[in-house]
Structure 1
Amino acid sequence: MAKTLIGPRLRELRRERNQTQAEMARTLGVSPSYINLLENNQRSLSVQLLMSLADAYAVDWRDLTRDETARRVADLRHATRDPVLKSGRPDIQELRGAVDHAPRLVDLFLELHEVYRTALEKILNLAGDNGADELLRSSPETVIHNFFRDHGNHFPELEKAAEGARDGTFTSPEDRYFVLRQLLEDRHGITVRIRRLGDLNDALRYYDETNGVVHLSQALDTANRAFQLAHVLCLVAYPEAISDIVLRSGLKSQHALARLRVELANYFAAAFLMPYDAFLQEAEAAAYDIDRIATEFSTSFEQVCQRLTTLQREGARGVPFFFLRIDKAGNVTKRFNSTPFHLAEYGGSCPVWNIHAAFYQPGVMMPQFVELPDGARYFTISRTVHRPVFSEETQDRRVTLALGCEAKYAHRLRYASSYKFDDPKLYAPIGLNCNLCPRQACSQRAHQPLLMELPIDENRRGSTRYES
């Protein structure tokens, strides 16, 4: 039998029975000193004693020998790296010692940390809400974002439907709009009409289901016209694919269900216009050059960014990205995420992150390496794009698109090729937002953090009014 150390589990088992080491020793027919050595992992467990333990205490021997030490050490290491803890971090030997010799204390610490993280997430989820009635409700957008995230932002059934819809129809991306028009008319009796700006009351697309007509605004360019037709194709040709996903979502709110159907049809449209295998191959070949990919598939910059977050097919994965769209007021108007990272979940408010500076350099790609207070590191790229302009009132409707990934994937992106990865000043220190960021001496701080007190010296003026 391989060397088996069960010290923490043996101690826990003894304490559950309210036994001393001497009492357990008498039960098992060994000496108290031997029990002490076992509990301190200074002796390994024999097969004979393992069977005796299983019989005497009516436990499954597999439960006794299941080694969860590595996982618990990892959990403990993650918790002790939380930036809210200011003292020196224990090394790996200290963490293992705590797991081996004080397992119940470790459990309590991890439980307390989990309670803290849960409270923090609730604050983050509620941040920005106004009014007591809204504090206990999540918006449909948040619900849908969480649903997509929980599925890795990848839906195989919609990918399969998009492949079936294409069926080798297209010879080139440039033909897709015209082929889609013909496809809708021939198979579904739906015609397409381009309408003048005033005809649709500023709407960009309207599907008249009763009369079988898709009305598209002349404000849409060819790439977005094709996208809107692919969206309608999903609704009329593959309603069961959407219904199956909606049914298992468990959502109850009619607003959330309607939003989910819209986003699933949008997912289909992107998969239809940018076939998975060809898109992944081009993305890798182009080192994720977004403009080059958009040119290859005759799609928009934003469509490519969003599609890049969906490349999570088992056995054929791309770089796991998150994607945000931010307006000039700092509102996140779209968020897609194939990762579990907090920057993707709640980020967008930190002025140190260059997503805001991008508005000062319209159309220019702005790469940046960033680091959160907990030490997590990312590589992000930000650039502004224009929304459709069709009147004087709709001018300058720029938004910033931000695409990001863990820093360990940066070498696969051409935008990071000019950086020296070993530069100690490479990473910009950012936070999620000022209310929660624990960083001290940040010149961009706008609020006192909720979870800590910054040092104040009335005789000294620091870089901000919140600390000195």
Structure 2
Amino acid sequence: MPQRKTFVGPRLRQLRRDRKESQAEMARQLGLSPAYVNLLENNQRSLSVQVLVRLSEAYGVDWRDLVQDDATTALADLRNALQDPVFGDDTPDLQELRAALDHSPKFAHSFLELHKSYQSLGERLLSLGGGGASDAERIATASPEAVVHDLFRKHRNHFDLLERAAADFRHDEPIDADEMYSYLKLRLKRDLGIQVSSVPVTALPQTLRYYDQKTGEIQLSEGLDHPNRVFQLTHVAGLLKYRETIDKIISTANILDPRAQARCRVELANYFAAAVLMPYAQFLSEAKGCRYDLDRLALRFGVSFEQACHRVTTLQREGALGVPFFFLRIDKAGNVTKRFNATTFHLAEYGGACPRWDIHLSFRTPGRILPQFVEMPDGSRYFTVNRTVDRPSLGYDTQDQRLAVTLGCAIAHAGELIYASRFHLDEPELFTPIGINCRLCPRQNCAQRAHQPLHLDLPIDERRRGQTRFES
């Protein structure tokens, strides 16, 4: 297999500017000609191993920071941002966008940050309840949940460090799903000196799992079913045994807020747990073999439906890619309680989802998968599967605490999913027009509109009554 060439022009140019050096000065440091440095900065020459070593030695930089390739994600984010209706129809083509990333990466990054702030402001306005200093703080500072989403989005929902930690934990042992609970109890005792006990619901009021550091004991509520008991034990194993690995990811992302760090730590430990219970290569093979039949995958690996949904969103290892998915979970009121994204689909943090999306309808058909083809206001099309998931029941007063989840992918990948097999994908009437939510959706003449959009004025004609009071 031919080696992939490494181009680092924009990063090299920025490194030189940060040091306030000319191309000739950098050339002397690296033992190169100024003309060759110029070619490197303009991506007209690839970076050799020898030059990479000289850069690391001369400038004290980590070579991995220079060769980190986030161009694919940045290009997708740039294309997605420019599809916003606020920019109209005359948008740059793919070649122009690539040129912007190659020659003006800081400008492109600043543009993306500005557009992200524009979207976030609209979403955060939805969350404000009554003024005051706390509201101002919420606008100025991203919520811990938003920090988690952005961290996972930046990594395209895939963390190679955690995948390797999971492989290290398992030691390539062929562990049957039925034996995993006993295996984890043994490993926790052997590796960390931790005992595991199952306790009545009344012994852990409003709590599903508690780790007592003083006694070295994990208490699991009897309200947890078997898959979730296994998951909780694996989560704690990752949180304790691979704490340094998890904290390295958080530190590299420059996440400083303690609350955001704590939320990221929890979600990264969840990622580790999923990687242990559903090993990457085996899970990807099974997923492709059954065409992403989520019930089959859950049974095969002894996990819940929701855990299988989470795992398929992480199959983004270079050279072993699965379908890129987004994942969204809501409660009965439409509040977003979890979101992960390996696609260009924009998931709102606040305000629920579009009422025309069948994720809401799934509450009327518990446990049944509802496939749906949707089209966003920018014309992008996706295939989604929607279903309810049950929460642990701790007694009479906590029954029926269902949530609803949706798993979606770009329409180009729909044919790889078993749920789309009975549809003819070229039929335009298949697609339901949806938006992010009413306050952010520019669609006119929508019978489900509940609010005026924040960023534009819909026409008002007192002589006409449309399908809703917001349309005339």
Counterpart of 2:156 in structure 1 is 152
The answer (yes or no) to whether the contact 1:323–1:344 under 8 Å persists in 2 is no
The answer (yes or no) to whether the contact 2:373–2:381 under 8 Å persists in 1 is yes
Counterparts of 1:332-343 in structure 2, within 5 Å, are: 332-343=336-347
CA distance in 1, matches of 2:150, 2:220: 31
Counterparts of 1:97-176 in structure 2, within 5 Å, are: 118-130=117-129, 131=131, 132-133=135-136, 134-176=138-180
The worse-fitting range, judged by mean Cα deviation, of 182-191 and 442-451 is: 182-191
Given the superposition, is the C-alpha separation of residues 92 and 298 from structure 1 closer, same or farther in structure 2, using an over 3 Å criterion? Answer: closer
The answer (yes or no) to whether the contact 2:280–2:315 under 8 Å persists in 1 is yes
CA distance in 2, matches of 1:176, 1:208: 22
Cα deviations by residue, 1:24-46 (Å, 9 ceiling, x for unpaired): xxxxxxxxxxxxxxxxxxxxxxx
Task: Give the AA of the match of 1:294.
Answer: A
Counterpart of 2:446 in structure 1 is 442
CA distance in 2, matches of 1:79, 1:283: 31
> How far did residue 341 of structure 1 move?
2.6
**TM-score, length-scaled by structure 2:** 0.76
CA distance in 2, matches of 1:402, 1:344: 13
Q: Counterpart of 1:229 in 2: which secondary structure?
A: helix
Counterpart of 1:389 (choices 389, 393, 398) is 393
Cα deviations by residue, 1:128-187 (Å, 9 ceiling, x for unpaired): 233332222221111111111111111111111111111133431110001111121223
Given the superposition, is the C-alpha separation of residues 239 and 393 from structure 1 closer, same or farther in structure 2, using an over 3 Å criterion? Answer: same
Counterpart of 1:83 (choices 76, 82, 85) is 85
Answering whether residue 282 of structure 2 is matched by residue 255 of structure 1, we say: no
> How far did residue 370 of structure 1 move?
0.6
Unaligned stretches of 5+ in structure 1? 1-59, 67-73, 98-107
> How far did residue 450 of structure 1 move?
2.1
The worse-fitting range, judged by mean Cα deviation, of 259-268 and 437-446 is: 259-268
**TM-score, length-scaled by structure 1:** 0.76
Task: Give the AA of the match of 1:420.
Answer: H
Percent of residue pairs bearing the same amino acid type:
51
The answer (yes or no) to whether the contact 1:337–1:344 under 8 Å persists in 2 is no
CA distance in 1, matches of 2:230, 2:115: 47
CA distance in 2, matches of 1:427, 1:240: 46
Between Structure 1 and Structure 2, whose CA radius of gyration is higher? 1
Given the superposition, is the C-alpha separation of residues 401 and 76 from structure 1 closer, same or farther in structure 2, using an over 3 Å criterion? Answer: closer
The answer (yes or no) to whether the contact 2:197–2:219 under 8 Å persists in 1 is yes
The answer (yes or no) to whether the contact 1:346–1:432 under 8 Å persists in 2 is no
Counterparts of 1:14-413 in structure 2, within 5 Å, are: 82-84=84-86, 89=89, 118-130=117-129, 131=131, 132-133=135-136, 134-343=138-347, 348-413=352-417
The worse-fitting range, judged by mean Cα deviation, of 235-244 and 169-178 is: 235-244
The answer (yes or no) to whether the contact 2:383–2:408 under 8 Å persists in 1 is yes
Counterpart of 2:437 in structure 1 is 433
Task: Give the AA of the match of 2:241.
Answer: A
Q: Counterpart of 2:383 in 1: which secondary structure?
A: strand
Q: Counterpart of 1:304 in 2: which secondary structure?
A: helix
Given the superposition, is the C-alpha separation of residues 64 and 401 from structure 1 closer, same or farther in structure 2, using an over 3 Å criterion? Answer: closer
Given the superposition, is the C-alpha separation of residues 75 and 402 from structure 1 closer, same or farther in structure 2, using an over 3 Å criterion? Answer: closer
Counterpart of 1:418 (choices 422, 439, 444) is 422
Given the superposition, is the C-alpha separation of residues 65 and 185 from structure 1 closer, same or farther in structure 2, using an over 3 Å criterion? Answer: closer
Given the superposition, is the C-alpha separation of residues 64 and 229 from structure 1 closer, same or farther in structure 2, using an over 3 Å criterion? Answer: closer
Task: Give the AA of the match of 1:219.
Answer: G
Unaligned stretches of 5+ in structure 2? 1-37, 45-75, 97-106
CA RMSD of aligned residues (A): 3.3
Given the superposition, is the C-alpha separation of residues 119 and 196 from structure 1 closer, same or farther in structure 2, using an over 3 Å criterion? Answer: same
> How far did residue 327 of structure 1 move?
0.3
> How far did residue 324 of structure 1 move?
1.0
